[in-house]
Structure 1
Amino acid sequence: MPDASRRPTVAVTGVGALIGQGIARSLRPRGRVRIMGVDRRITPFSKTFCDAVEQKPAIDEASEAYLDFWRGLVRREGIELILPGLSVDMDFFNGNRAAFRDMGVKVALNREGLIALCADKADFQKAYRAAGFPAIPSARPESWEEALAALGPAPLLLKPRRGEGSAGIVRLDDASDFAYWTRRSGDNWLMQTVMGTEADEYTVGVYGLGDGTSLGPIIMRRRLTRSGHTGEVEVLDHPAIAALTGRIIRHFQPIGPTNLQFRMGGETPYLLEINPRFSSSCSLRAAFGFVEAEMCIDDLLEGRTPEQPVIRHGAAHRYNEDFIADTLPGKEPSGYAGDPV
């Protein structure tokens, strides 16, 4: 392994959560960089993927004091690249691009316009449909009768306009459901036709080059957990999804790690959403040869176009296990992964 003092330092945020851990874990075995993990909650488990860790201060992240925290951290640790592992972190860095340019640090951020467009599912669906892509029927009806007329027979889906993953998505079967959930959701909702089945859902990863081209795609048929994250995947070829992904990339021109979610409706793929960031399945993608964090190092630190990855086919299943950290006096914690549960 190279001397740590000669490796560039890369900060990975959100290492107390699934995405940040996946980013750090994909970088760790290759030893190209010194990994600085950052989060509000630093756990013994997250430390195992990092060379050093820093706990976020408990202050308003919209404040100048929080920006000063990052200025100090970048200067003290010599951070050259930041990989945001949480959507809230992406929003913070996106809103402070100029400040981080002044610090001389690179941040793995997608195109600013695409981040803004994807922040609201209703706005994105309008833009997607206007571009001529096969779109899932979507509406914000004022009544259940109007919903049925616009979207077809029940059940229908109500999802947050602003949110991530599958959190907040509910099935509506009748007028009572419509009244309850639209009232409870305030203005933050969008209704859609149910497209396909859970067995027809796919997550797709690309690394956008900003000019309408990309590396990938890696296509995975998936099953979601109750928390809305990917629990099982099968990496495979899907010509129809690959073709549509190419068209979408040419139109929206993403930069860096980009995640697309699809449902099949018959023989037609329908885009659920674009997540213009690292996703919860980044560690699974890395296991099959699509290592987005390494691509960021090639692109943003070394200034070269990453090589097209060689993607393997196969299946993966996520499971829980115990992590035991010894705390004997004078002994550093040592991780033990207990029996799977």
Structure 2
Amino acid sequence: MKIFVTGAGALLGQGIIKSLRQSTLECTLIAADPNPLSAGLYWADRAYRLPLADDPGFGDRIHQLLDGERPDLVLVGTDVELPWFAAQRLRLEALFHTHILVSDPRVVAIADDKLETARFFESVGLPHPASAASEDAAAVAALVEAVGFPLIVKPRIGARSVGVSLVRDTRQLAQALEGRQGLVVQQCAGEADQEYTASVLYFDGAVRASIVMRRDLRDGNTYRAYTGDYPELNAQVRLLGEALKPHGPANFQFRTAADGTPRVFEINARFSGTTPLRAMAGFNEVEMCVRKLLDGTPIFQPPIRSGVILRHLDEMFVSQDRIDAVQ
């Protein structure tokens, strides 16, 4: 089989590639990224350059590569590419006789916007942090009255905790909002030592497998993950997946309240940066999705190894001739 992965310079794309390399799949791996100095390009069998997702030539380049390589499956490795692939999925699949693993535009849009995420869970009656658009002064005031401080102020569209503020009083709230647009003000979901990242795989109208890991963050990314069964939280996460109905993977990030209720503050309608960590715990979601889409192999809940995953930096040397060969 031949698998095409975008975003070889992103944590997500590299995690997908790592998971493929950890799997028992025998595949030709093709990677692409705008930057020829992206490490993931050099873990693949063939590597290509792509324009940025907002470049007018992005679609033409994708067409060119899919036509030339004819991969069996395309895995999207950056958030910014998801809306384009979601909109084009059915047309690309028919044109190039491939599979594009991406959710529909509705799911991608809900996951892309933190306020829409909260509104979605409210609409289906599932727990979430109380939230208000920063531009709606009355709603923000009502939020303060209802839940008090501390509150979280963050961009509606963003990642890795960039631009996120914890505010403890009205003065700090005003400072966090001053001169900024496109923010959401949210109830603090819980304590930092009760933060979790979870994944579901949804196919054929049901969640087929799930995993929950407690985590410690550094610079907005998981650097320690605590694996185990977490049966009650897994049951809640499956309810989240059943409500969202992604195509394949979805990632939920949440903290638990004092009563143990998970309050989801972020959805990723895709694999996530912790995907290779899950593979180490026995939950190789990339492999399960590949086998489901290409071989029709049913997905069953795998047993999860119990332990701690420690994340660390690594290095690699790439010769100049390999860099020059990326077209």
Instruction: Give the TM-score taking structure 2 as reference length.
Output: 0.89
Residue number in structure 2 paired with 1:66 = 58
- Is 1:251 the counterpart of 2:243? The answer is yes
2:317 alignment partner, SS class: strand
CA separation in 2, counterparts of 1:70 and 1:181? 40
Structure 1 unaligned spans of 5+: 1-7, 334-341
Residue number in structure 1 paired with 2:154 = 159
Residue number in structure 2 paired with 1:39 = 33
CA separation in 2, counterparts of 1:20 and 1:113? 22
| Alignment equivalent of 2:288, drawn from 268, 286, 295 | 295
Contact 1:20 1:84 in 2 (8 A): yes
| Alignment equivalent of 2:3, drawn from 7, 10, 26 | 10
- Is 1:148 the counterpart of 2:144? The answer is yes
CA separation in 2, counterparts of 1:126 and 1:77? 41
CA separation in 1, counterparts of 2:96 and 2:157? 31
Cα shift readout 1:78-106 (whole Å, capped 9, x = no counterpart): 22211001011212211222431222221
Query: How many Å apart are 1:145 and its aligned residue?
Result: 5.0
* CA pair 151-72 structure 1, distance change in 2 beyond 3 A: same
Q: How many residues align?
A: 317
CA separation in 1, counterparts of 2:146 and 2:301? 43
| Alignment equivalent of 2:194, drawn from 196, 200, 203 | 200
Matches within 5 A, 1:1-341: 8-29=1-22, 30-43=24-37, 45-57=39-51, 61=54, 63=56, 65-101=57-93, 102-140=95-133, 141-142=136-137, 146-152=142-148, 154-186=149-181, 188-215=182-209, 217-226=210-219, 228-266=220-258, 267-325=260-318
Query: How many Å apart are 1:135 and its aligned residue?
Result: 2.5
CA separation in 1, counterparts of 2:222 and 2:184? 23
Identity of aligned residues (%): 29
CA separation in 2, counterparts of 1:191 and 1:57? 34
CA separation in 1, counterparts of 2:51 and 2:322? 24
Out of 274-283 and 112-121, give the one that drifted further.
112-121
CA separation in 2, counterparts of 1:137 and 1:193? 5
CA separation in 2, counterparts of 1:195 and 1:124? 14
* CA pair 326-220 structure 1, distance change in 2 beyond 3 A: same
* CA pair 253-210 structure 1, distance change in 2 beyond 3 A: farther
* CA pair 67-165 structure 1, distance change in 2 beyond 3 A: same
Contact 2:207 2:242 in 1 (8 A): yes
* CA pair 31-136 structure 1, distance change in 2 beyond 3 A: closer
Q: What root-mean-square deviation, in Å, do the aligned CA atoms of Structure 1 and Structure 2 show?
A: 2.3
Query: How many Å apart are 1:146 and its aligned residue?
Result: 4.4
CA separation in 2, counterparts of 1:150 and 1:308? 40
CA separation in 1, counterparts of 2:280 and 2:147? 39
Structure 2 unaligned spans of 5+: none
Residue number in structure 2 paired with 1:3 = none
Out of 85-94 and 45-54, give the one that drifted further.
45-54
Report the structure number with the largest CA radius of gyration.
Answer: 1
